[in-house]
C-alpha cells in the first residue's frame, strides 16, 4: 500500500517533510522493546549512562558478563521512539556476544538490523552503542580494579 | 480514528465542499477575465470577501486573500516592515509565536531590523510591562499572537492595541488559532493586521486571509497583476476562497455554542488526566484559553513516544505545532513559560473539534494512562531507576 | 459558450478533480502531522511531486510547490536576487514579460537592483545580441519567459542558457504558458529556475510550482515551518497539489498530439481571419509559437470593444493577459514588437484548448468579421471619416 | 441573479478587480449606439474632434443648429465600449436641446443617464462632453465669422 507510513524508507525524497516516519520493525521494537529493565547490583558487571541530564534522550544500560560474553543485558531509556527501538535492537544484538564482538557493534549495525531509521533519528542508534561501550568500559575498569564479580 | 489535533488542521465541512464544487466544475473562469464567464468567478470571490467581512466585522476591502496562514503572517510582517522602513527599524514580538511569525522576524533581523522577543509569564500570557518597556520611538510594528497554538492561551490583544494605537505603532496579531474558536470582531479587536487560515476552521487548505485595517501601510509580498488591490498578485484560488468564506460564516454562526461544548469536554479531559495519571500537568491552565486546546506534560517520558503510542491505537494528537514535529528541541512555547526542558519534552497537545464527542475524550484518557505507564516503565528517568 | 481564452485559465480536468476529491473529503490530514493520518497526506504530496518530476524530467527535490504561477515567479526572482545579492546587483529581463516578472523586477529596482529590459525583434523574439551585450560581471540573474502569453512566441531559452551557464549567471524562465503546450524537459531546457502553474494546464487554481535546479541559490519568500525544504513555508494545498500533478501527467502524455491538433486549428483561424477581414494582422506569426495562441490586430477599432462584442455573442477571448484587462494602455508586448499604439489598441488574443473544435473556430471568425465591420462603422478612424 | 456582470454597480467593493463590467444600459448603447455617423458639410454647423491622434480613445462630433437648438447630431468614436456608449448617450441628451442647455450637459449627466459607469471609465464620458463643447465652440466661431449657415 502506498499510503502507509514509513514512506521515507520507501524511497521518497528526503524533503518528505519535517515529520518522521518509522518502519514496521522499528514500531514493533517501540511497542515491545526487548530487555527493558535493570539488573540488580549483584548481577551487574557493567553499567553505562549516556545522554544529557537536562534535556534530550537519555539511556541507561546494564550488562552481566559470564565467560567473557554478555549473559544478560537490560536498558532503560528516556526518549523518542527511535531511541527506544534502537536501544532495544542494540540489546538484542549484544545479548550472548563476547565482549570483543560486542565492542565491534556499530550504530550502522543497529540501523541495518532495524531495516533503516529516519535520517534525523540516526543519533538515537549512536546513543545505544555509546551506552553499551560505556558499560563495557565499566566492566573492564571493575575487572582491572578487581572488584568485578568472579 | 479519534482525531484530537484540530489545531493542526480540520476536516473540510461538507457545506464548504459543496460551495466549492461549482467552481471546480462548471464555473472555472478566471476572475480577471473581461467577459461574463470571468465575472461569474469575480463575483464569487467578491461575495466570499463580503461574507467574511460580515461574519468577522470589517470592510470587504480590508481583506486580502492569501494561500496560507503562514503567507498571511509573512505579508503582515514583511509588508508592514517594508512599508514602514522609513520610520524606524524596531519590531516587537513574543517568545511564543508560531514559526510563521518567529522565523519571519528572524529573517527581518537578517535584513537589518532589530527585533525584541518578549517573555511571557508562567501562565503563558505576555508580560504587558515588558511590552510597554520595549516600545521606543523606532518601534514600527508589534506582533503578538491572539491564541497560542500549543497551549491555547489567549493574549490581551485589545489591551496591547491600546498601547500601540496611542504611539502610532502598527499591531499585527496571528489569529490563526482563535478565528473560528472565539467570537471575533475585527473592528473591535484593535489590531491593524490580523491573519487567519481556512484549514484551521473547517475550510479548505490553500485559502487564508490577512485583514488589513484601512489605511495600514503595507507592501505586497507577491507582485504582478492587480489582484487583491495590488497586495497579493496571482490568479485567485476561487474555489478555495468560496469554501473558506462558507466555513467562516458557519463557524461564526455557531462559535459560542461550540465554544461552550468544547470547553466542557476539554475540562473533562484535563480533570480526568490529572486524576488518572500521576505527575501530569496542564500548561497554561491559569490563563484564559481557547476552549478546545490542552497542553499536557508528563514527567519522565518523551512526547513523541506518547504521540506514536496513541497513533498506534488510532488516536491523533501532536507534540506541538504541526510544522515543528520531528524537531528534537522541546517546545519554545513551554520553555518560554518556564517549564523545565525535560518536562517540556514530555508534553503533548490535544485539540478538540466539531466531531469530538465525550466518549472520544474518555477513550483518549484511558489510552493515555496506559501509554504513560508503559513508557514510564521503560524510562531511565523514573524514581525506580538506578 | 465558446471559450477561446485558454491562456487566461483552463477548465479543471475531471480526472484531476477526481484525484483531488479524496483529499477534500476523507483524507484531510496535515502533511506535517506525526501520525499515520498525516503521513497519508504527506505521501500524497510527495507522490504528486514525484509524478511531476517524472513527467517534466527533473528530480522531485527540485520542485517547490507554490500557490500561483505569479508566486513561483516571485520566488524565483526575489529568492535568487536575495541569495545572490553578495555577488552583484544586475538583473536582465525582457520588455515582453508577464506582469508577474515585470512588476517584480520593478520592485527589485526599488530595492536597489539594476534591471535591463531587453528589446525584442519585430517577430517578438528577444534579441540575443542585445542579451549578450547586456551581460556584465555584476549580472546575477537573467529572466526570459519561455512562451509569451499574448503572442505565444517562444523564446530561445536553450540558447540563452548556454550564454548564462558559461558566465555562472542564474537563468529563470517563466514557463507558465509553455508547460502543457510544448513537450518540456526541465533537465534539457537549461534554465536553473522554471515557473509553471496548475490552472493554465487543466489543473486547479491555487497550485503551481517552481523548478529550482539542484544547487541553485534561492532564499524563501515565505518563511515559517520547514515545508518545501524551507523554501515555501505554510500548510500545503494538498488537494490542489494532487490535482496539479494529475493534470501535468495527463498533459505530458498527450502534449504532442494535442499540439498538432491545436496548431492546425489555430492556422485555420488565422487563415480565415486574414481572408475574411480587411486590415487584419497576426502578431508574431513569423516566429516559432506555442500552437494554441493567436494575437490578432484590426485597424481602426478598439480591442476591448471587440472582446465585449464577442462576449455578447457567447464567445470568450481577451485583449491580452487576464490580469491587465481593463488597463487602458495598449499591450506592452505588442508595443515592444514595434506594433503602432493604435494597432496594438485594436488587438485581441485568441487561445484554443482541449475542448476547442473546428466549428468553434469557424463561428468565432464569423462573429469577429461581423463585429469588426460594425465597430469600423462607428469608428472615427475609418477612411470614410471626416 | 447575483452572478450577472455589472456587479460593480451593484455595490461590490472597488477592489472588485482589474476587470471592468458594464450595466445593461451601457451594453445596450454599445450594441445600438444612437446617432452614429457624420453630417455632410452642408448640414454641419459645428464640428468637434477630441482625443489623442496616436493612441487612446478618439471622438468626432457634428451638430446641425436650427433656431439656437441642436437639430441634428452625429458622432463617430474610436474607443472602448465605455467611449461608444457615453458618446451615444451624450448625443441622445443633446439632441433637440438649445445651445445654452447643451452647454450645460456635464459628464455626470451622461453617467447618470446611463445608470452609472465603472470608475475607471469616467474619462470616456468626459470625452463626449468635450467633443460637444468643441462642436458648439466651432458653431459660435463660425457664427461670429459669419460663415455659419443661416
Ligand atoms: C498560530 C499559527 N499561526 C500560523 C499558522 C500557519 O498557518 P498555515 O498552516 O495556514 O500556514 C499556524 C498553523 O499551524 C498556527 O497555529
Ligand atoms: C506568462 C505568465 N506568467 C505568469 C502568469 C501568472 O500565473 P498565475 O495566474 O498562476 O499567477 C501568467 C498567467 O496569466 C502568465 O501568462
Q: Has A55 been annotated as catalytic?
A: yes
The Cα A70–Cα A61 span in angstroms is 12
Q: How confident is the model at residue D149 (pLDDT cuts 50, 70, 90)?
A: low
The Cα C316–Cα C319 span in angstroms is 10
For C353, other C-beta atoms within 10 Å of its C-beta total: 22
| C299, closest residue in chain D (CA to CA) | D78
* Ligand 1 closest atom vs CA B73: 4
For ligand 1, say whether the CB of B177 is within 6 Å of any of its atoms. Answer: yes
Task: Give pLDDT, residue A9.
Answer: 35
For ligand 1, say whether the CB of C234 is within 6 Å of any of its atoms. Answer: yes
Task: Give pLDDT, residue C108.
Answer: 98
Structure-block grid coordinates of residue C355: 475542448
Alpha-carbon gap: C306 to the closest alpha carbon of chain A (Å): 49
Q: ipTM score of the complex?
A: 0.92
User: Do chain A and chain D touch with ≥3 beta carbon pairs under 8 Å?
Assistant: no
Q: How confident is the model at residue D1 (pLDDT cuts 50, 70, 90)?
A: very low
For ligand 2, say whether the CB of C208 is within 6 Å of any of its atoms. Answer: yes
Task: Give pLDDT, residue C381.
Answer: 81
* Ligand 2 closest atom vs CA C199: 10
Compute the mean pLDDT over every residue in chain C, rounded to the nearest whole number: 95
Structure-block grid coordinates of residue B210: 490577512
D76 reaches C (C-beta below 8 A):
yes
The Cα C184–Cα C177 span in angstroms is 11
- Strand, helix or coil at B153? strand
Kindly give the distance from the C-alpha atom of residue A57 to the centroid of ligand 1, in angstroms, as a whole number: 28
Task: Please name the residue ranges forming H helices in chain B.
Answer: 14-24, 36-56, 69-84, 99-110, 128-134, 157-167, 186-189, 238-276, 303-311, 332-336, 341-345, 358-378
End-to-end CA distance of chain D: 54
The Cα A51–Cα A83 span in angstroms is 11
pLDDT > 70? residue C322: no
- Strand, helix or coil at D119? helix
Chain B residues close to D120, C-beta within 8 Å = none
Portion 293-332 of B in contact with A at CB < 8 A = 300-302, 304-305, 308, 312, 323-328, 330
Kindly give the distance from the C-alpha atom of residue D50 to the centroid of ligand 1, in angstroms, as a whole number: 56
Task: Give pLDDT, residue D122.
Answer: 83
CA-wise closest residue to C364 among C352, C347, C379, C377: C352
Radius of gyration of chain A (CA): 16
Query: Each residue's pLDDT tens digit in chain B (386 positions)?
Result: 999 999 999 999 999 999 999 999 999 999 999 999 999 999 999 999 999 999 999 999 999 999 999 999 999 999 999 999 999 999 999 999 999 999 999 999 999 999 999 999 999 999 999 999 999 999 999 999 999 999 999 999 999 999 999 999 999 999 999 999 999 999 999 999 999 999 999 999 999 999 999 999 999 999 999 999 999 999 999 999 999 999 999 999 999 999 999 999 999 999 999 999 999 999 999 999 999 999 999 999 999 999 999 999 999 999 975 444 445 678 999 999 999 988 999 999 999 999 999 999 999 999 999 999 999 999 988 643 33
pLDDT > 50? residue C301: yes
Closest partner CB to D7 (pick from B33, B34, B43): B43
Task: Give pLDDT, residue C266.
Answer: 98
For ligand 2, say whether the CB of C12 is within 6 Å of any of its atoms. Answer: no
For B375, other C-beta atoms within 10 Å of its C-beta total: 24
The Cα D134–Cα C118 span in angstroms is 43
Of B58, B66, B105, B323, which one is the catalytic site residue?
A: B323
- Count of CB contacts below 8 A, C vs D? 69
A53 reaches C (C-beta below 8 A):
no
The Cα B151–Cα B337 span in angstroms is 10
Cβ pair C20:B24 closer than 8 A: yes
The Cα A106–Cα A128 span in angstroms is 10
CATH architecture for segment(s) A24-144: Alpha-Beta Complex (3.90)
**pLDDT tens digits along C162-200:** 999 999 999 999 999 999 999 999 999 999 999 999 999
**Closest residue CA from atom 16 of ligand 2:** C149
- Answering whether pTM is above 0.80, one says yes
Indicate the burial class of D142 (C-beta count within 10 angstroms; 0-12, 13-18, 19 or more): middle
Which one of the ligands is nearest to B67 CA? 1
Structure-block grid coordinates of residue A150: 568472579
For ligand 2, say whether the CB of C70 is within 6 Å of any of its atoms. Answer: yes
Task: Give pLDDT, residue B321.
Answer: 54
Average pLDDT (C326-331) is 69
Task: Give pLDDT, residue B329.
Answer: 77
Task: Give pLDDT, residue A120.
Answer: 80
The Cα A16–Cα C208 span in angstroms is 18
Among D2, D4, D14, D16, most B C-beta atoms within 10 A, so best to mutate, is: D16
B373 reaches A (C-beta below 8 A):
no
Among D44, D61, D80, most C C-beta atoms within 10 A, so best to mutate, is: D80
Kindly give the distance from the C-alpha atom of residue B226 to the centroid of ligand 2, in angstroms, as a whole number: 12
Task: Give pLDDT, residue C382.
Answer: 64
Structure-block grid coordinates of residue B245: 468564506
For ligand 1, say whether the CB of C30 is within 6 Å of any of its atoms. Answer: no
Q: For residue C352, what are the CA distances in angstroms to C259, C293, C349?
A: 10, 7, 10
Task: Give pLDDT, residue A10.
Answer: 40
Kindly give the distance from the C-alpha atom of residue C198 to the centroid of ligand 2, in angstroms, as a whole number: 10
Chain D residues close to C320, C-beta within 8 Å = none
Of D15, D54, D55, D145, which one is the catalytic site residue?
A: D55
Domain positions in chain A? 24-144
Please say whether the beta carbons of A82 and A22 come within 8 A.
yes
Structure-block grid coordinates of residue C267: 492556422
Average pLDDT (A67-95) is 95
Task: Give pLDDT, residue C380.
Answer: 84
Query: Phi first, then psi: what are they for B294, rounded to 5°?
Result: -135, 125
Among B6, B115, B223, most C C-beta atoms within 10 A, so best to mutate, is: B223
- Structural domains in chain C? 2-6+255-378 (3.90.1150.10), 14-251 (3.40.640.10)
Q: How confident is the model at residue C321 (pLDDT cuts 50, 70, 90)?
A: low
For ligand 1, say whether the CB of B325 is within 6 Å of any of its atoms. Answer: no
Q: What is the 3-state secondary structure (H, E, C) of A41-109?
A: CCCCCEEEEEECCCCCCEEEEEEEEECCEEEEEEEEEECCHHHHHHHHHHHHHHCCCEHHHHHCCCHHH
The Cα D72–Cα D139 span in angstroms is 13
- Strand, helix or coil at D61? strand
Give residues with Cβ within 8 angstroms of C166, minimum separation 6: none
Average pLDDT (C268-289) is 98
Neighbours of chain A (3+ CB pairs under 8 A): B, C
Per DSSP, the residues of C273-314 read HHHHSTTEEEETTTS-B-TTEEEEEETTS-HHHHHHHHHTTT
Mutate-to-test residue for ligand 2 from C149, C181, C182, highest number of ligand atoms within 8 A of CB: C149
Task: Give pLDDT, residue C363.
Answer: 98
Average pLDDT (C224-247) is 96
For ligand 1, say whether the CB of B174 is within 6 Å of any of its atoms. Answer: yes
Of C58, C105, C316, C323, which one is the catalytic site residue?
A: C323
Task: Give pLDDT, residue C320.
Answer: 72
- Count of CB contacts below 8 A, B vs D? 55
B30 reaches D (C-beta below 8 A):
no
Choice among A126-130, B372-376, C24-28, C295-299 with the minimum mean pLDDT: A126-130
pLDDT > 50? residue D86: yes
C60 reaches A (C-beta below 8 A):
yes
Between strands B315-316 and B2-3, the pairing is parallel
**pLDDT tens digits along C6-53:** 999 999 999 999 999 999 999 999 999 999 999 999 999 999 999 999
Chain B residues close to A91, C-beta within 8 Å = none
Average pLDDT (C231-257) is 98
Cβ pair C61:A5 closer than 8 A: no
Which one of the ligands is nearest to B227 CA? 2
Please say whether the beta carbons of B30 and B40 come within 8 A.
no
Amino acid at each position: 500500500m502506498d499510503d502507509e507510513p514509513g514512506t521515507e524508507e520507501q524511497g521518497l525524497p528526503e524533503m518528505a517533510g519535517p515529520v518522521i516516519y518509522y518502519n514496521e520493525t522499528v514500531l514493533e521494537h517501540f511497542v515491545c522493546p526487548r530487555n527493558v529493565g535493570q539488573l540488580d547490583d549483584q548481577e551487574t558487571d557493567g553499567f553505562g549512562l549516556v545522554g544529557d541530564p537536562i534535556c534530550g534522550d537519555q539511556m541507561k544500560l546494564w550488562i552481566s558478563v559470564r565467560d567473557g560474553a554478555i549473559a544478560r543485558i537490560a536498558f532503560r531509556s528516556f526518549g523518542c521512539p527511535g531511541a527506544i527501538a534502537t536501544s532495544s535492537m542494540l540489546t538484542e544484538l549484544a545479548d550472548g556476544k563476547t565482549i570483543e564482538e560486542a565492542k565491534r557493534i556499530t550504530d550502522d549495525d543497529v540501523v541495518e538490523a532495524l531495516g533503516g531509521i529516519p535520517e534525523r533519528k540516526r543519533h538515537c542508534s549512536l546513543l545505544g552503542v555509546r551506552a553499551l561501550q560505556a558499560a563495557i568500559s565499566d566492566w573492564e575498569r571493575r575487572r582491572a580494579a578487581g572488584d568485578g564479580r568472579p | 480514528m479519534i482525531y484530537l489535533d484540530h489545531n493542526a488542521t480540520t476536516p473540510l465541512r461538507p457545506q464548504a465542499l459543496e460551495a466549492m464544487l461549482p467552481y471546480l466544475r462548471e464555473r472555472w473562469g478566471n476572475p480577471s477575465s473581461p467577459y461574463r464567464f470571468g465575472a461569474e468567478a469575480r463575483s464569487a470571490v467578491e461575495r466570499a470577501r463580503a461574507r467574511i467581512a460580515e461574519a468577522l466585522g470589517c470592510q470587504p476591502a480590508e481583506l486580502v486573500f492569501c494561500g496560507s496562514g503562514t503567507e498571511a503572517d509573512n505579508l503582515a510582517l514583511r509588508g508592514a516592515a517594508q512599508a514602514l522602513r522609513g520610520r524606524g527599524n524596531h519590531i516587537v514580538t513574543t517568545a511564543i509565536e508560531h514559526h510563521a511569525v518567529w522565523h519571519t522576524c528572524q529573517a527581518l533581523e537578517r535584513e537589518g531590523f532589530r527585533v525584541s522577543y518578549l517573555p511571557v509569564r508562567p501562565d503563558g500570557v505576555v508580560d504587558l510591562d515588558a511590552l510597554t518597556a520595549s516600545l521606543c520611538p523606532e518601534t514600527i510594528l508589534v506582533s503578538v499572537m491572539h491564541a497560542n497554538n500549543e497551549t491555547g492561551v489567549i493574549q490581551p490583544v485589545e489591551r496591547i492595541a491600546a498601547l500601540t494605537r496611542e504611539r502610532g505603532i502598527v499591531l499585527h496579531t496571528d489569529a490563526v488559532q482563535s478565528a473560528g474558536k472565539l467570537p471575533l470582531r475585527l473592528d473591535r479587536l484593535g489590531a491593524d493586521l490580523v491573519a487567519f487560515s481556512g484549514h484551521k476552521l473547517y475550510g479548505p487548505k490553500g485559502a487564508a486571509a490577512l485583514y488589513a485595517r484601512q489605511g495600514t501601510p503595507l507592501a505586497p509580498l507577491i507582485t504582478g497583476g492587480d489582484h487583491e488591490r495590488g497586495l497579493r498578485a496571482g490568479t485567485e484560488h476561487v474555489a478555495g476562497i468560496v469554501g473558506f468564506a462558507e466555513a467562516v460564516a458557519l463557524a461564526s454562526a455557531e462559535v459560542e455554542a461550540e465554544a461552550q461544548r468544547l470547553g466542557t469536554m476539554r475540562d473533562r479531559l484535563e480533570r480526568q488526566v490529572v486524576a488518572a495519571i500521576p505527575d501530569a500537568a496542564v500548561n497554561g491552565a491559569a490563563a484564559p484559553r481557547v476552549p478546545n486546546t490542552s497542553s499536557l506534560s508528563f514527567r519522565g517520558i518523551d512526547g513523541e513516544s506518547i504521540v506514536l503510542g496513541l497513533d498506534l491505537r488510532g488516536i491523533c494528537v501532536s507534540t506541538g505545532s504541526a510544522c515543528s514535529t520531528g524537531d528534537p528541541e522541546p517546545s519554545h512555547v513551554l520553555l518560554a513559560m518556564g517549564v523545565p526542558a525535560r518536562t517540556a519534552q514530555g508534553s503533548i497537545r490535544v485539540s478538540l473539534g466539531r466531531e469530538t464527542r465525550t466518549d472520544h475524550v474518555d477513550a483518549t484518557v484511558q489510552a493515555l494512562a496506559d501509554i504513560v505507564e508503559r513508557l514510564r516503565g521503560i524510562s531511565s528517568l523514573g524514581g525506580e531507576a538506578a
